[in-house]
Amino acid sequence: MRLIVLVPLLAAIPGAALAKPLTFERALERARAYAPSLKAGAAGVDAARSDSVAAGRLPDPTLAVGIDNFPVSGPPAFSFTRENMTMERIGLEQAFPNPAKRRAERTRAQADIGMAEAGLAVEAQNVRLETALAWIDLYYAKRRLAQLDLLNDSLNDLQTTVSARLAAGTARPSQAFEPEQLRAAVNDRRSELAAEVAAARARLIRFTGDPDADAAGDPPTIEVDRARLMAGVASLPALKSLDAGIDVADADTELARAEKRPDWRVTTSYGRRDPAFGDMVSVGVSIDLPLFTKRRQDPKIAARASDAERARLLREAGERQIVAALDAALADHVMHHQLLMNARDTLVPLAKRRAELDMASYAAGKLDLGSALLSTLAEAEAEVDALAREAEVARDAIRINFTYGDTQP
């Protein structure tokens, strides 16, 4: 029955023999090449660059067609021939925004490109980090699962010993069920770890695009150096994104200031009258007059300047937050490393020694089988816990370096 219950869960997990193995570096390469979010970010950068081509250009000219001086009253009303002032007109108008506005538009377009590139860098960092963590989680979940499988195999030998003792009459009949009870407890733990394997593999598939992804090879050895990490804080994608926000706010401020300078337009038209009279050409220039700046342009300039100041303060706050988060992550890393050393040097050896002594006592008839089996289970749990602590140390190193260190693949 236990096997039947486990089949649906285990069937949902691609077998290691069927899955395509991925080394740690290969997984990162696939994520960089196939992650849809990175392709979307690259498309956003391309869109910003295309927009920048038109920034700061003169607007399209305007074509005007009309009839001037058409009579609607008096003797020549509604006649094209009885009024010598009626003429057909065609003209063009070209607007010339002031140079400061055009420069500001080009600067704003470049700032948009920087913002799009910064956003892509942030997403690339997130994808790289999540892919690395998924690979580490899958690697260690499989190792913990294998550790429980070793215990499950050892129970077969123990079951044979108990059966022999029952046949010889040196064991109580109830002891025949104790290995099975331990096996049931191991299967419960195994089901939990199988679910962790499936979840980690699903995350790895999400970022690599490989439907049969599986962790292969050894995890990377990553050193954590606070001095090196602190030296590169200013170049982190998160802060680069905030820097791009400052550039955008500054460009918007310059655009608002440019509104105080007048734009101008040139208009020319050709008028055709009755053949008995001469045709006419008109040329004109119109200039905007920003005369009421205190109620129109100045408030907008002040608003954009406040936005720029806000962007600078957010940049400062963002850097402080990153430094604080880095120090907190380093403290957790030290703590997790100490826990790992405690497990390796103390907890696992003690659990192993206790299990050996308890099994020896059981063999000598000084301890009941149930207590001996519980010690064996405790040893397995200690081994699995040590692997979990090792995984946490590896996760810390990856999270710290991929978040606060070199973000290049």
- From CA 244, how far away is CA 267, in angstroms rounded? 40
Greatest mean pLDDT among 67-76, 142-151, 229-238 lies in 229-238
Residue 345: φ, ψ to 5°: -85, -25
Query: What band does 359 get if pLDDT is binned at 50, 70 and 90?
Result: confident
Average pLDDT over residues 349-365: 84
- The identity of residue 151, as a single letter, is L
CATH number among 3.30.70, 1.20.120, 3.40.50, 2.20.200, domain 59-96+261-293: 2.20.200
Q: What is the pLDDT of residue 5?
A: 37
Query: What band does 397 get if pLDDT is binned at 50, 70 and 90?
Result: very high
- From CA 360, how far away is CA 189, in angstroms rounded? 26
Average pLDDT over residues 360-377: 74
Query: What band does 104 get if pLDDT is binned at 50, 70 and 90?
Result: very high
In percent, the amount of the chain with pLDDT more than 90 equals 56
Q: What's the predicted TM-score (pTM) here?
A: 0.79
Structure-model confidence comparison of residues 250 and 358, the more confident one: 250
- From CA 24, how far away is CA 219, in angstroms rounded? 7
- From CA 357, how far away is CA 212, in angstroms rounded? 44
Average pLDDT over residues 112-131: 95
Residue 215: φ, ψ to 5°: -75, 130
Query: What band does 363 get if pLDDT is binned at 50, 70 and 90?
Result: confident
Q: What is the pLDDT of residue 362?
A: 72
Q: Read off the pLDDT of residues 300-343 as tens digits, 9 standing for 90 and up.
A: 999 999 999 999 999 999 999 999 999 999 999 999 999 999 99
User: Is it the case that residue 194 has pLDDT exceeding 50?
Assistant: yes
Q: What is the pLDDT of residue 185?
A: 75
Q: What is the pLDDT of residue 165?
A: 54
Q: Please compute Rg for the chain using Cα positions.
A: 38
What residue ranges do the domains of the chain occupy? 2-52+104-259+296-404, 59-96+261-293
Question: What distances in angstroms separate CA 245 from CA 45, 117, 199, 233, 299, one per listed residue?
Answer: 15, 12, 36, 17, 21
Q: What is the mean pLDDT of the chain?
A: 84
Q: Read off the pLDDT of residues 316-325 as tens digits, 9 standing for 90 and up.
A: 999 999 999 9
Question: What distances in angstroms separate CA 358 from CA 68, 184, 242, 349, one per listed residue?
Answer: 112, 21, 61, 14
Q: What is the pLDDT of residue 370?
A: 65
Superfamily in which the 2-52+104-259+296-404 domain is placed by CATH: Outer membrane efflux proteins (OEP) (1.20.1600.10)
CB-CB contact of 340 with 386 (8 Å): yes
Matching fold, domains 2-52+104-259+296-404 and 59-96+261-293 = no
- From CA 228, how far away is CA 406, in angstroms rounded? 10
Q: Read off the pLDDT of residues 209-243 as tens digits, 9 standing for 90 and up.
A: 998 889 999 998 888 999 999 998 999 999 999 99
CB-CB contact of 297 with 290 (8 Å): yes
Produce one character per residue of 314-339: b if its CB has 16 or more CB atoms within 10 Å, e if not.
ebeebbeebeeebeebbeebeebbeb
Quote the DSSP letter at residue 347.
Answer: I
Q: Read off the pLDDT of residues 38-55 as tens digits, 9 standing for 90 and up.
A: 999 999 999 999 999 999
Burial (CB count within 10 angstroms: exposed 0-12, middle 13-18, buried 19+), residue 346: exposed
Three-point CA angle 387, 389, 392, nearest 5°: 110
User: Is it the case that residue 9 has pLDDT exceeding 80?
Assistant: no
34: left (phi over 0), alpha (psi -120 to 50) or beta: alpha
User: Is it the case that residue 162 has pLDDT exceeding 70?
Assistant: no
